[in-house]
Amino acid sequence: MSDMPDSLPYWILGAVALFWFVGAYNRIVRLRSAALQAYAALDAALVRQLDFVQARVAEAPPAQAVTEGAPADASLQAAAGQLVTLLAATRLKPLDPAGIAALATALHVMLGAWQRLHPDAVVSFDADGTLSRPAPLAARDDAAAGSAPIAWPEPSAAAEIARNQFNLAVAQYNAAIAQFPALLVAWIMQLRPAAPLR
C-alpha cells in the first residue's frame, strides 16, 4: 500500500490553479487601480480647465453680453454646466464606457464653444506635454484613433498629459482582461473593459 493518497495530484493541481487565479486577479486589480488613479489625475486636470473657462466667462464685461457673442457665451455656460454634471457622475464609475463617452462628448462641446468665443486662446499639447500648434478642433482627421491632441483653454499641458496617462492605463487594463487565461478571471469576477477619453 502506498503512503501517498490517490487524490494528492488533484490537491496539487487545485493549489496551483488557486495560486494562479489569485495572481491573475491581483494583476488585473492592480491595473484597474492604476486606471482609477489615472482618472483621478485626469479629473483634477479637467476641473482646472473648467475653472479656467468659468473664471473667464465670469470676467466677461456686461457690454459684451448685449452684442452678438451672447448666444456663444450662453452655449459655453451651458456646456460648462453639463461638463460639471458629467464629471460628478463619472467620478462614481470612472471606468464605465458610457460615462466616459458622455464625458468626452460634453468636453468636446465645451471646448468647441470656447474656441468659437476665443479662437486665439486655445493651446494644444502633445501627449508628452510639448507644445503642438496649430490646434483647430474641426480638423481632427485622426481623432477616432485618439492620437490627435485636444486644444485646451488653459495654457497648461497637465490636461493632455493626464488624458494620455489615463488612456494608457485603460489600454493596459483592457489588454490584461482580454488575454486568454486572465479572461476567465475577469469573467468570473465580472470585470468589464473600460473606455479611453477621446
**pLDDT tens per residue, range 45-67:** 999 999 998 888 887 665 444 45
Q: What does the pLDDT look like over 135-157, one tens digit per residue?
A: 444 444 444 445 577 888 888 88
- pLDDT on residue 146: 52
Yes or no: say if 171 and 36 are a contact pair by the CB < 8 Å rule: no
User: Residue 71: pLDDT above 50?
Assistant: yes
Mean pLDDT of the chain: 82
The whole-number average pLDDT for the span 122-131 is 75
Q: How many domains are contained in the chain?
A: 1
- pLDDT on residue 139: 44
Is position 120 within any domain?
A: yes
pTM higher than 0.85: no
Domain of 90 in residue numbering reads as: 20-58+70-188
Is position 178 within any domain?
A: yes
Q: What does the pLDDT look like over 4-21, one tens digit per residue?
A: 567 888 888 888 888 888
The whole-number average pLDDT for the span 68-72 is 60
Which amino acid is present at 188? Answer: I
Q: What does the pLDDT look like over 75-106, one tens digit per residue?
A: 888 899 999 999 999 999 999 999 999 999 99
- pLDDT on residue 101: 94
Is position 64 within any domain?
A: no
Is position 4 within any domain?
A: no
Of 130, 132, 197, which Cα lies nearest the Cα of 165? 197
Is position 83 within any domain?
A: yes
